[in-house]
Amino acid sequence: MLSSDEARARLVAHPLPANPWVYATAEAIIIKADYTDTIERMLRWVPKAKWSARQRCWVVPLGGLELVRSVLPELSRLAEAMQETPVVPEAEPDGVPGLVSDALARKWFRDCARQLYGSDWQRETARALGRDEASLACWLIGEGVASWRRHRNNCWQRCWR
């Protein structure tokens, strides 16, 4: 664990990347994210790292700089996911309250899967749903599974004639 002076010197030499959710002050590193068990487990090795309910952020002593640096991408991803608010549909199709268009439903599904699984969201979502990745991709762009198979077979027949 670094002393506060060593951590300040390292921050001067190599500052944290610009990030609206994770930044360093003169006394601590602030993580603007809600309380979650995931972040608590990430920070459990930093003595005196704590959740501030009053400020609604995590406060990590400067001595924990290198640990925060090592998990910064994941902390940023989690904090960003917590900051986003759900998109409210601008207009309801067919004038039916609460009805969401298929395109909007696919967009919400895609956005939620990205937040849940990160960069490999398509593969992990397909695995979690017990589907193959290609059929999920077709559904996401608005094609049915049957049309994907038909398209694949047509392509295969054209390539192998």
70 pLDDT exceeds 60? yes
Closest CA to 14 of 80, 2, 47, 118: 2
Q: Report CA torsion sign: 123, 127, 133, 139.
A: negative
pLDDT in tens, 81-140: 877 554 444 545 555 555 567 777 778 888 888 887 777 788 888 888 888 888 887 777
12 pLDDT exceeds 70? yes
The b/e string for 54-76 (b: 16+ C-beta within 10 A; e otherwise) is: eeebbbbbbbbbebbbeebeebb
pLDDT in tens, 48-68: 999 998 999 999 999 999 999
147 pLDDT exceeds 50? no
As a whole number of angstroms, the longest Cα–Cα distance in the chain is 72
> Which residue did the predictor score with more confidence, 151 or 110?
110
pLDDT in tens, 16-27: 988 888 999 999
Q: Report pTM.
A: 0.53
